[in-house]
Amino acid sequence: MEIEAAKIELRAQMRAAFQADARASSSSALCDRLRSLPEWKAASTVMAFAPMGDEPDIEPLLCQSQATALPRWRDGAYEPAEILDLNGLEAGHFGVKEPGNSCRTLDWEEIDLMLVPGLAFDLNGNRLGRGGGFYDRLLEQARAAGPLVTVGVCFEWQQVARVPTAPHDRPVDLVVSAQT
């Protein structure tokens, strides 16, 4: 229970620290940093996310030089679905934008790089999500299919010294913000 209480407290701190006025400039710089990563340049298929209002806006990266997939809820689980542009997204499970039925389902083995949002990240790649375990399960599912690079995507103020973790929490390989 101590870990869960620490997570609740850190979530509240991160929500209070959100800087709406800095979202656009920080997101733009973050997209530039992601584009410069060797892992980004080497990837042929990227699993990304449709950003919510308090997450970095990575939409300028989507559907550019690599094939792009987003999570889509089907039959009680998420699957990677390829998007060709952002016009085919619709409100999905939990109200998060996701690919529509016309978008092709990809095999997890096709994913080379996975961008992962979070409320907080530490230097060891531990992440704090919204509390549902969605990305922990998604990371586990993707890694079980084969090797890929996972990248935590965040604002500078979301990087902390230590994220409290439980056995089910899954870290990312790299953490990238506009400055790191």
Decide which of 135 and 77 is more confident. 135
Q: pLDDT digits over 141-160, tens only? A: 999 999 999 999 999 999 99
Closest-CA residue to 114 (of 82, 75, 68, 60): 68
pLDDT reported for residue 53: 87
Helix or strand run (H / E) with residue 35: helix 23-36
Residue 98 in this model has a pLDDT that exceeds 70: yes
Q: Tokens 């996310």 correspond to what residue?
A: 49
Q: Are 99 and 88 in contact (CB under 8 A)?
A: yes
Mean pLDDT value of segment 62-73? 91
**Domains defined along the chain, listed by start:** 2-176 (3.40.50.10420)
Which positions ≥6 away from 72 have C-beta within 8 Å?
Answer: 78, 79, 80, 81, 92, 98, 99, 103, 105
pTM exceeding 0.85: yes
**Phi, psi angles (nearest 5°) of residue 80:** -80, 130
Of 8, 36, 27, the C-alpha closest to 120 is: 8
Q: What is the pLDDT of residue 63?
A: 85
